[in-house]
Amino acid sequence: MNILRKKSKANLPFSETVIELFIRLCGISSIIFVFGIFFFVFREGAGFLFNGLNLTEFLTSVEWQPTSLNNKRYGAFALIVGTFSVTALAMCIAVPFGLGAAIFVSEFCSPKLRETFKIVIELLAAIPSVVWGFIGLTLMNQLIIQVFNAPIGLTMLNGGIMLALMSVPIIVSIAEDALKAVPDSYREAAEALGATRWQVIYRVLLPAAKNGLLAAVLLGAARSIGETMAVLMATGHSVNIPSGPLSWIRTLTATIAAELGEVARGDEHYQVLFIIGILLFTITFVVNLIADLVIKGIRQE
């Protein structure tokens, strides 16, 4: 291939050189955009981040009073706790279902049933987040009020269930890929020793695919952390350190969505929202990076 490349370069027509340049530019566009996102979000928030914002207070205080007239407070701790608690709850629901479904689809299913399940999962993944939020606001709200006898159903539990339903498809598809990547010879060797299907899965496949499964869970969590509309509509949207699944919370993402429309550009409050954006970007970037390293780790083995 390399010889071919060098030979053809010498007498390439001009139009082709232009096209190749364009293709190369498109190829690195993702890098440009990722840096661009960081740059532009940083640019809007940088002024206040380095000059004025008390970072310790931002990360540890629960007082979020950006619109107060004489006592403005930018403490995002409750928002951070809100984001992570609703994500943790969502993962508690989504991980067993997601991994269970992935094992079933990849190991127990007939090909026809597998296709059906995969289409269902794909359609589930396609439902827009605002619709999940709407379902949380109407259907799940009433359900929680009736089942738990709660005064209001817009709670962490509601948001957690919505997020779980949204992240299950990701977990299933990545976990299934991870299980598929385990060589068939492993399965055959174990079966030849007299292991049943479940013993093969439990003793051989799960240990062999554990990195991929971990990556699946991480990416599912990253999706939950970044989700905006569903949590904005379904979790009650009130700054609060949650005491249980039935308390209401507010997340980082929902705060930006709810408040960005009401601030003036260049305002401290406006800049703080962009700083929250930087925080979110960093969190998801790190989680995605870890997931990528975990996946790459398997390949090198």
Partner 1 sequence: MFTETPIDRRKQLTERVVRIFLLVVTSVMIIPLLLIIGYLLYKAIPVLSFEFLFSNPRDNMRAGGIWAPFLGTIYLVVVSLLVSAPIGVFAAVYLNEYARESWFTRVTNLAVVNLAGVPSIVHALFGVGAFVLFAGLGESILAASLTLAIMTLPVIIASTTEALKAVPMSFREACWNLGATRWQTIRRIVIPNSISGILTGVILQVSRAAGETAPIMFTGAVFYKTIAEGNLFAYNITEQCMALSLHLFTISTQVPDVTEGTPHGTAIVLVGSVLLVNAAAIVLRVYLRTRKKW
Residues 267-286 that bind partner 1 (CB under 8 A): 273-274, 277, 280-281, 284-285
Residues 130-149 that bind partner 1 (CB under 8 A): 130-131, 133-135, 137-139
Work out whether 123 is an interface residue with partner 1 (CB under 8 A).
Answer: yes
Residues 17-76 that bind partner 1 (CB under 8 A): 19-20, 22-24, 26-31, 33-34, 36-37, 40-41, 43-44
CA distance 233 to 283: 22
Work out whether 219 is an interface residue with partner 1 (CB under 8 A).
Answer: yes
Min separation Cβ 133 and partner 1, Å: 7
Among the residue ranges 51-59, 63-71, 73-81, 101-109, the one whose residues contact partner 1 (CB under 8 A) = 101-109
DSSP letter, residue 47: H
Residues 171-200 that bind partner 1 (CB under 8 A): 196-199
DSSP per-residue codes, the chain: -HHHHHHHHHT--HHHHHHHHHHHHHHTHHHHHHHHHHHHHHHHHHHHHHTT--HHHHHH---EETT-SS--EE--HHHHHHHHHHHHHHHHHHHHHHHHHHHIIIII--HHHHHHHHHHHHHHHHS-HHHHHHHIIIIIHHHHHHHH--S---SHHHHHHHHHHHHHHHHHHHHHHHHHTS-HHHHHHHHHTT--HHHIIIIIIHHHTHHHHHHHHHHHHHHHHH--HHHHHHSB------SSTTS-B--HHHHHHHHGGGS-TT-HHHHHHHHHHHHHHHHHHHHHHHHHHHHHHHHH-
- Site residue total, partner 1 (CB under 8 A): 83
Work out whether 227 is an interface residue with partner 1 (CB under 8 A).
Answer: yes
Q: Which of 54, 65, 67, 122 binds partner 1 (CB under 8 A)?
A: 122
Min separation Cβ 94 and partner 1, Å: 10
Work out whether 226 is an interface residue with partner 1 (CB under 8 A).
Answer: yes
Min separation Cβ 118 and partner 1, Å: 9
Work out whether 105 is an interface residue with partner 1 (CB under 8 A).
Answer: yes
Min separation Cβ 24 and partner 1, Å: 6
Residue 93 or 150 with smaller CB distance to partner 1:
93
Work out whether 158 is an interface residue with partner 1 (CB under 8 A).
Answer: no
Work out whether 287 is an interface residue with partner 1 (CB under 8 A).
Answer: yes
